[in-house]
Structure 1
Amino acid sequence: MSLYFSLPAKLINGGIAGLVGVTCVFPIDLAKTRLQNQQGCGVYRGMFDCLVKTVRAEGFFGMYRGAAVNLTLVTPEKAIKLAANDFFRNLLAREGKELTLFREMLAGCGAGTCQVVVTSPMEMLKIQLQDAGRLATQKVVTGEGAATIPHKPSALLIARDLLRNQGISGVYKGLGATLLRDVPFSIIYFPLFANINKLGQKSPNEKAPFYHSFLAGCIAGSVAAVAVTPLDVLKTRIQTLKKGLGEDTYHGIVDCARKIWKNEGPSAFMKGACCRALVIAPLFGIAQVVYFIGIGEYILEYFN
């Protein structure tokens, strides 16, 4: 099947994979954001402490703050990422030869660059919604606010205010940091997944078993996620608009890195690494299983 005809199926696969994966791991992603935004002595001692305090203060669905914008935009984001990687791999392939590691990395670089068009605004809005509860809890702990969450921000209101006050650049705040995180992630993830997944193939023309693709996605995802965690911390801090009491503000990637190193030490760059691995591993494991099973192909065949 040519790339032209398979592209719609790949987009469907990526979309379904994104929806299923995000629904499963979103609470851990929320904990990651809140832990990464803590400066100095924060209100959360770790992932489980963060989730327990979130449920107590905001209820069960408090763990899903920002999920709506993520579920809305994760479909095009995952679809673009997975389909773009296939596109670039096809473009860089030589007749009858396997891709070299360098060409696999180039394909991953292209995929990561393409997806940022959707990822950057999605992350920008999601982070504001996820971090609102942390700021409210911080006020309670410091005696600056009531023991309830007074206001639940809306993604539409945040987006409208940013567009009104700053234009399109407001929604794309942190674009450079997002590129700095997602391009290296894709450069690491896609070649690593392809080579691990290849170990489960009995022949070049056969697919690996679904469980092998799942494990390959989990392993490659967790390795890539941990590797780029320092860049994810920078991106999260830069994209967070509202800061807590006494927390630093940042004027770009270099300023952010310098202040974190000076005020919190090098260990701060790995905040949320465990959460990030726990989010990305099943997310990409699920994505690769859906993608390799070919649900999109079955759907298109059924309607044709």
Structure 2
Amino acid sequence: VRIQTERRYRGIWHCIQETYRTEKVWGFYKGVSASVFSVSLISSVSFGTYRNFLRSICKWRYGTADAKPSKLDIVLAGSATGAVRVMLMTPSEVAKVRMQTQRRPHPSAASPHPASKPKYQGSLHCLRVIAKEEGFGGLYKGCSALLCRDCSSSAIYFLTYSVLCNWLTPEGKNKPGFLVVLLSGGFAGVLAWGLATPMDVIKSRLQTDESGQHKYKGLIHCARESVRQEGVKVLFKGLGLNCMRAFPVNMVVFVTYEAVLRFTNRLTN
């Protein structure tokens, strides 16, 4: 988030060094409560939503929910999943971004000097302050960018996983093996984040725009101003870090997903 929203960092390592120098280890864990809550909740909701959407589409198109879905079916289910996820996760995303970009104590209204406490004292406190100062709409800042990001990236995410699993699974086997799931999940995550990063940058910048600043008027204005001031490369800030994180995380995510699916299938059959 800091790399995407601030021009002072020259790269990943410079950001790490500066964060540690000014905030020590604690600086790397800002917004972690919002992240843990949102990731655990959203992951379960996303995969459940995707599976239900896919089964509904198959039943509508082919007459049975167990029919083999086409690539279009997967794209539609993935896009719908992204839209549902945005509605659930935007407030926690706003809190995470605000917490991670907060470094200095917030100056009080009465004094130009920093107050003894930062403006946001935790994720829940952050949400309360945003709702109080900016209204309900403040909790959904950047929602348009998130919709663009998640609808497209979710479609690519699930499509890539499905295509790679089918391609890497030997003929005659109904289910992909452990290694196939690992590789397919990892590459699906990398490709999805490669597509999502430009909108992720715009989303982060919109969400750091607090009340009283009004630096950006909306998604298009934010994108135009960012490119005008920093060039097209600004849209790919954090791409390397996103991809480095995406591969191992999504390997684990899809292995867990497949394990849960197979476990529930054994229980129901």
Place the TM-score, normalised by the shorter chain, in its bin.
Answer: 0.7 to 0.9
For residues 292 and 76 of structure 1, the distance between their equivalents in structure 2, rounded to whole angstroms, comes to: 18
Q: What is the CA–CA distance in structure 2 between the aligned matches of 1:57 and 1:162, rounded to whole Å?
A: 25
Alignment of 1:23-102 (within 5 A): 33-39=1-7, 42=8, 44-93=9-58, 94=62, 95=64, 97-102=67-72
Q: Bigger shift: 124-133 or 196-205?
A: 196-205
Partner of 2:168: 200
* Residues 219-258 of structure 1 mapped to structure 2, 5 A cutoff: 219-242=187-210, 249-258=215-224
Contact 1:210/1:293 (<8 A) preserved: no
Distance 1:209 1:217 in 2: 12
Quick check: 1:103 aligned with 2:69?
A: no
- The yes-or-no answer on 1:211 pairing with 2:179 is yes
| CA apart distance, 1:173 | 1.4
Range with bigger deviation, 183-192 or 271-280: 271-280
Aligned length: 252
CA displacement at 1:150 relative to structure 2 = 6.6
Q: Tell me what 1:23 maps to.
A: none
Q: 2:92 aligns with which of 109, 118, 122?
A: 122
Look up the equivalent residue of 1:267 and give its one-letter code. K
From the superposition, tell whether residues 206 and 145 of structure 1 become closer, same or farther in structure 2 (CA, over 3 Å). Answer: farther
Contiguous gaps of at least 5 residues in structure 1: 1-32, 138-143
Partner Cα separation in structure 2 for residue 236 and residue 179 of structure 1: 13
CA-to-aligned-CA distance 1:137-164 (integer Å, 9 cap, x gap) = 9xxxxxx999xx9737222222112222
Tell me which residue corresponds to 1:277. Answer: 243
**Closer, same or farther in 2 for the Cα pair 1:210/1:173, shift >3 Å?**
same
Q: 1:261 aligns with which of 227, 233, 251?
A: 227
Deviation readout 1:223-271 (Å, 9 max, x if unpaired): 111122111111110011359xxx9811100110111121111111111
**Alignment partner, residue 4 of structure 1:** none
Matched with 2:82 is 112
Cα distance between partner residues in 2 of 1:159 and 1:290: 31
- Most deviating of 155-164 and 91-100: 91-100
Q: Which runs of 5+ in 2 are unaligned?
A: 106-111
1:202 positional shift: 3.6
The equivalent of 1:141 in structure 2 is none
Aligned-CA RMSD value? 2.7
Give the conservation status (yes or no) of the 8 Å contact 2:206–2:222.
yes
Q: Report how far residue 166 of structure 1 moved.
A: 3.1
Structure 1 counterpart of 2:157: 189
Q: 2:138 aligns with which of 152, 155, 170?
A: 170
Question: Structure 1, residues 61-92: CA drift from partner, whole Å, max 9, x if none?
Answer: 32111111111222221111111111111112
Q: Give the aligned partner of residue 30 of structure 1.
A: none
1:219–1:157 distance in 2 versus 1, CA, 3 Å: same
Give identity over the alignment, percent: 26
1:168-226 Cα distance to aligned partner (Å, 9 max, x none): 21211111111111111111111111111223334576321222211111111111111
Q: State how far apart, in whole Å, the 2-side matches of 1:296 and 1:121 are.
A: 33
Larger RCO (CA under 8 A, 6+ residues apart): 1
Aligned to 1:151: 118
In structure 1, what residue type is equivalent to 2:19?
A: T
TM-score after normalising by structure 1: 0.75
Secondary structure of the 1:199 match is helix
